[in-house]
Chain A
Amino acid sequence: MEVTRETVAGIIGGAVAVLLQIALAPSIALAAAVPNFIVVFCVVRAVACPDHAGLLLPFILGLVFDLVGGGPVGAMALVLVLVTFLASRAYLVLNNDTLFMPAAILLASTMLVEVLYGIIVVACGAGVSFGEAFLYRVLPCMLYDCVIGLLFYPIAIRVLVSRPLGQPGTPQLR
């Protein structure tokens, strides 16, 4: 595997995301909503650098999340691999050099991650209905992650991406 700036930034960013998830996320939970820095990082990275996003990092980070947390092992890995793949492909196809498209893909991907993870957790025997899970867990977490994702995205495209943004004359995030 070629070691590029994106790769190194991805590894460091992933480690920071794991650290934040373990140490900070429980402390800044709002009622039932615990932010998921790992999801935010993976989705933002898939949108910020779709060419170099890869599947290995989302898989590993998802697995770490599953092992550190109490959920089914492999569930977040599965969801992150699937959603980051879809997000990067969607961005490559739909990118129109405006801020709207990455933001929309970011929000949709974050929502998809939480919904899919909720379905797997419920299917694995959480002892609750999906409606209840959606109302009390998926929805609050989804909103929290979306807010963090939107805040993190402008930073991520400067830190994670080495190539110049767009062609001369195209709008850039400032």
Chain B
Amino acid sequence: MALNFQNNSPAPVGRVSLIIALVVALGLVGIYAAEGPDGPLHKVQAAVAGIAAPVQSLGTPVGQATEGAAEAVADNGAAEETLSALKEQNAQLTQLAVQGEEYRLAAQRLEALLGMRDVYEIEGPVGRVIGRSTDAWNQDITLDVGSNQGVESGLTVMGAAGVIGQVISVSPNSCRVRLLSDPQSGAAAIVQSSRAEGIVRGSLDGLLYLENIGADVNIQVGDVVLTSGLGGSYTPGLLIGTVARVEGSAGNDSRRIVVAPNGQVSLLEEATVVFSAASDAVDRSVPVVVVEDGQDGDSEGGEGGEDGEGDSAQGNGSSGEGSGAASGRGDGASDEGEGN
């Protein structure tokens, strides 16, 4: 394979313009890194994201249309004329069934969201997810509520089953929410049963890790993890998830604690921006999805705390005295007398 070295080839672009472009871009990166979240570049980014938000919602129909087109191509190959009428009827019925299922699922999701709002006495607008991150490096979603609805940067965002993230930028009619699974996110957290405090961080592998927990604290699979509100970044007392795996034992500094979020963000379609929640939210009980050894299993923790006694048979426990608390630990371990 002979290479054709062309010494007399014209320069495709001028070196000066290259240097200028590189310097400008490098300058922008430097300014962006140095400025705070309220800096001009961050504001421009938020404004552009707000403008692009409606376009993002185009993605779902495009995906559905692609699937529909593939099905249509497959159907054309069949060419069965005698069945065309039945197929048409079948398509109509399927459409109705799909529509009905959509309504049922939407009602179910909204019911769960309302349930969570009731439990925590949450005040704040509910927004629809209209977009997801356009690049691989950020785990975020866009909601269709913004500053016109009173949303501000830094507010906690709840899904139907627990905390999903925090508002990082706001435009008039949309806001961007950084998910807990993003490596840049960090939520001050508390383990409900032991009251041990730490930080829940996201990671590139998509898992949540509970860090900065004291080495001597005993953490078990199934322990419920809540936001502690320390530092004021997240509303305190809201459910994050449960401990899914503990790598290493108490006393070991290299112990890694994996937290399973209480619900799948990938399936999320609505979320609540939390303006305020009950002051004793940390002691309130919510349905907890207990994950053990990588297997999901639903365990209702809603009844815990009625009498302030552990209920190991139901996988529920309580902490606190008559405060309606539930540790949600699968083994029913309780930490009586320490409830706030």
Write the residues of chain A forming the contact surface with B, with a CB cutoff of 8 angstroms: 19, 21-29, 32-34, 36, 50-56, 59, 62-75, 77-78, 81-82, 85, 88-89, 92-98, 100, 117-118, 120-121, 124-128, 132-133, 135-137, 140-141
Contacts and interface: CB of A to CB of B under 8 A. Distances in A.
Contacts of A68: 48-49, 52, 134
Contact of A95 (B4, B22, B59, B135): B4
A101 B253 CA distance: 52
A155 to B, nearest CB: 18
Main secondary structure, interface of A, reads helix
Contact of A88 (B3, B5, B12, B131): B12
A124 to B, nearest CB: 5
6 contacts: A23-B55, A29-B136, A32-B206, A72-B33, A124-B29, A128-B204
Most chain A CB within a 10 A radius of its CB, from B25, B27, B131, B135: B135
A50 B62 contact: no
B132 interface: yes
B2 interface: yes
Contacts of A96: 1-4
Contact of A24 (B9, B32, B62, B201): B62
B4 A97 contact: yes
Contacts of A25: 59, 134-135
B55 A71 contact: no
A74 B32 contact: yes
A34 B138 CA distance: 10
A68 B204 CA distance: 21
A18 B178 CA distance: 22
A113 B2 CA distance: 28
Given A93-B5, A96-B4, A26 B131 contact: yes
A140 B58 CA distance: 25
Chain B CB count within 10 A is highest, among A23, A82, A125, A133, for A23
Interface stretch (B13-21, B69-77, B212-220): B13-21
